[in-house]
Amino acid sequence: MINNLQALLLSLVVTVTSLYSVHAQCNDVTLASITNPGPYNVETLTEADGLRNGPDYLEATVYYPTNGTPPYPSIAIVPGFTSGPGAVRAWGPYYASHGIIAMVIGTNDRRAFPDARANALLDALETLRQENTRVSSPLAGQIDTNKFAVSGHSMGGGGAQRAAVLGSNIKAVVALCPWLQTFNRPSLDHSTPVLIFSGQNDNTAQPSQHANIHYNQTPDATNKLLYEVKNGNHSVANSPSAAQGSVGKLTISWLRLQLDSNNCYCPLITDDLLDNSSTASLIQTNISCGTLSVDEYNNDQFISGVYPNPTNSIITLESRYTNTKKYDVFSIIGKHLITGKINSNKEEIDLSSLTPNIYLLKVDNQVVKILKTE
């Protein structure tokens, strides 16, 4: 048994190093790291600089980082009924300062309904695609055209949701106090992760008639989050500084999670921004933060999951339990530290006595790496 374990330990050296690296990256992801503005310098592009003049929108401005690491993800943002781009302009430099290209647009008709605003957003994304190949553009080759998001306020928020239904290749939606007609309400059947903000005291798009319906009618299989700002009005999410900065921090975290697949931001959302939030009057979500592990669980294996991982104390071992089994915990160099019995399909294991390090949890011939933190 010792020889087999030593051989297994040797084979894990590379993946263990990777796990250390992942955790080190997550240590840098904190609420304090999501500042306003962010760490990057920002410049702008307009049609006067050669930006495409799309047929389905007006008054476009692109905000982009100048000292980040391309290629960059992007988001297109449209205002609400009768409003011009200035209503949501605060988001442009904020996103860009965090390494996300932001294109703020207006509509051809300021009284346009949500589907027209959806088309405006889709047209804006086409402009960004073309900007990526325009030779004289400062963004040539610097736009990740596989990482597009859409956003909007009021009817623009409804338009952002509809853009996810009507378009393709959209990876995230940020709906700011969204509005959709209550009669013949259009479909919200899409699979794009959506973050919805609403205002508790919004008399224009009352949450019970709009944002809450957006949340409920977006399929349960779609990742979704509703954040109702306490005492907020219809314009409460038009700036990232709203709700003591929670609106901006939550949005950046959502986009990093959905656009970049950076799972470090998931617990930041669920634990730091949503748990006991003092600025929210209602929170609804179906997202859960999965196991941070380099192990894969196959259908024929006993262990089906271990979480939370990393952990600072207790882990839960999920298994295909049929009868009592023994588990063992080893140090990374093979020293036996803990033993116990698995008596259910969800067994809690207390690691609080161990110092921060990487450990190996072994059941039968299956081994899972655990990262114990302070």
| Adjacency order of strands within the sheet including 194-199 | 42-45, 58-65, 101-106, 72-78, 143-153, 170-176, 194-199, 224-229, 280-285
- Look up the CATH number of the domain holding residue 368: 2.60.40.3080
User: How many angstroms separate the CA atoms of 51 and 61, rounded?
Assistant: 9
Are 26 and 71 a contacting pair, CB within 8 Å?
Answer: no
Comparing C-alpha atoms, which of 216, 229, 79, 217 is closest to residue 157? 79
What's the pLDDT score for residue 290?
53
Domain identity same for 296 and 159: no
- Domain boundary pick from 230, 257, 285: 285
Domain identity same for 156 and 65: yes
Degrees (nearest 5) of the Cα angle 176, 180, 183? 165
Domain identity same for 6 and 70: no
User: How many angstroms separate the CA atoms of 125 and 148, rounded?
Assistant: 7
What's the pLDDT score for residue 24?
52
Those residues whose C-beta lies under 8 Å from the C-beta of residue 217, and which sit 6 or more positions away, are 185, 188
φ, ψ for residue 199, nearest 5 deg: -115, 130
Count: domains in the chain? 2
User: How many angstroms separate the CA atoms of 352 and 277, rounded?
Assistant: 28
Domain identity same for 230 and 281: yes
Domain identity same for 179 and 214: yes
- Domain boundary pick from 285, 316, 340: 285
Q: Please identify which residue in the block is written with the tokens 């999670």.
A: 257
Active site residues: 154, 202, 234
User: How many angstroms separate the CA atoms of 164 and 119, rounded?
Assistant: 10
- Reading the chain (374 residues) residue by residue, the pLDDT tens digits are 445 555 544 444 444 444 444 455 577 889 999 999 999 999 999 999 999 999 999 999 999 999 999 999 999 999 999 999 999 999 999 999 999 999 999 999 999 999 999 999 999 999 999 999 999 999 999 999 999 999 999 999 999 999 999 998 999 999 999 999 987 889 999 999 999 999 999 999 999 999 999 999 999 999 999 999 999 999 999 999 999 999 999 999 999 999 998 888 988 999 899 988 999 999 999 987 754 343 444 556 788 888 888 888 999 988 887 788 899 998 766 678 999 999 988 899 999 999 888 888 988 878 888 888 87
Q: How many residues does the chain have?
A: 374
Domain identity same for 201 and 254: yes
User: How many angstroms separate the CA atoms of 345 and 145, rounded?
Assistant: 43
What's the pLDDT score for residue 291?
41
State the pTM of this model.
Answer: 0.75
Domain residues for the domain of 252 are 34-285
